[in-house]
């Protein structure tokens, strides 16, 4: 059957048509990307997507949103859009739908795509196992964390708030980083460091150590300078970012299993060439008595171009694997 699949973030909303059958995504159409700030609500953006296609939309939908899925009213983390789950089907004109957290959708994509959509970062270059727990970690505007539980009879996604555990410094520079962050935040979570805004926090700490001027410009410009290598201190900050991401990914793997890890998220994809060459692997494995075990875990990066859209469709396919009359 054909469905609408949507990936709604704080800045952009993506829509596409998808074909699902017997619990699987058969095809994903060309995505349409919109700025959420250009539309008053999900409903008006939904109507704009239909107008773009020039046809009536299917009456089934999979919707992933950047917010926890709980309560009578859901507000996106970085957008004024408000959603009321009880009224969503009526407002969108759909008969069947699933609503899930955007990072849970990423985890569904990890469980649904084939091995060609993964690149190895470190550890053995082997496929993800068919059973057990796979941790999914995604740095972006924040830090998404989910667990994919694979069992003989199928698989389940467990959405978590693992990005909000405490940041644990591992050397003197990170001690300085934590001290600076505590001046702004009473409690410093790993999301404050291992996310888009975290690069600036690291850069400012290094600038303070070297008695340099604080960087100007926005976070996007800083990331560009680091990735293009035009600012040596930004490059050093990015190296530090990769170290912290490795440490956090290793901690999450231990907490969930330990088991394999998949890195996702917008920043994860931008770092796909750098991570295997960085200090990520050493920090991932540096877990004391568990170091040998950690080095044996495959750590991969999902390379699918639209994992949120694909994963939302996969969640719908799983929920309605018996047909639209399934519950």
At 96, is the secondary structure helix, strand, or coil? strand
Separation of alpha carbons 15 and 4, rounded Å? 7
Close Cβ partners of 73 (under 8 Å, ≥ 6 residues apart): 82, 83, 84
CA 215, 9, 14, 156 torsion-angle sign: positive
Known binding-site residues for ATP equal 6-11
* Number of other CB atoms surrounding residue 46 within 10 Å: 22
How many other C-beta atoms lie within 10 A of the C-beta of residue 32?
16
Residue position matching structure tokens 């003197």: 172
312 touches 64 (CB < 8 A)? yes
Give the residue numbers of the binding site.
6-11
CB 96 within 8 A of CB 131: no
The full length of the chain comes to 327
Report strand pairing: 261-263 vs 132-139: parallel
Q: Which two tokens stand for residue 260?
A: 């394999």
């Amino acid at each position: 059957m054909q469905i609408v699949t949507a990936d709604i973030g704080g800045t952009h909303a993506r829509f596409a048509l998808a074909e699902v059958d017997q619990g699987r995504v058969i095809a994903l159409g060309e995505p349409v990307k919109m700025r959420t700030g250009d539309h008053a609500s999900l409903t008006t953006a939904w109507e704009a997507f239909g107008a773009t296609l020039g046809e009536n939309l299917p009456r089934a939908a999979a919707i992933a949103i950047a917010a926890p899925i709980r309560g009578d009213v859901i507000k996106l983390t970085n957008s004024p859009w408000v959603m009321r789950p009880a009224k969503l089907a009526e407002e969108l004109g759909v008969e069947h739908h699933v609503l899930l957290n955007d990072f849970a959708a990423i985890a569904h994509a990890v469980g649904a795509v084939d091995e060609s959509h993964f690149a190895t970062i470190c550890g053995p270059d082997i496929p993800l196992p068919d059973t057990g727990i796979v941790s999914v970690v995604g740095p972006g505007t924040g830090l998404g964390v989910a667990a994919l539980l694979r069992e003989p009879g199928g698989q389940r996604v467990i959405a978590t708030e693992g990005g909000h555990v405490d940041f644990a410094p591992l050397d003197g520079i990170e001690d300085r980083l934590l001290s600076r962050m505590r001046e702004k935040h009473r409690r410093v979570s790993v999301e404050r460091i291992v996310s888009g805004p975290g690069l600036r926090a690291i850069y400012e700490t290094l600038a303070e150590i070297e008695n340099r001027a604080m960087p100007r410009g926005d976070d996007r410009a800083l990331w560009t300078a680091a990735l293009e290598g035009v600012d040596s201190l930004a490059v050093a900050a990015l190296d530090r970012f990769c170290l912290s991401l490795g440490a956090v990914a290793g901690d999450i793997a231990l907490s969930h299993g330990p088991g394999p890890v998949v890195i996702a998220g917008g920043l994860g994809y931008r770092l796909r060439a750098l991570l295997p060459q960085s200090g990520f692997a050493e920090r991932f494995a540096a877990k004391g008595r568990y170091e040998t075990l950690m080095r044996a875990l495959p750590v991969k990066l999902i390379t699918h171009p639209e994992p949120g859209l694909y994963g939302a469709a996969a969640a719908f396919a799983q929920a309605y694997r018996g047909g639209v009359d399934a519950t």
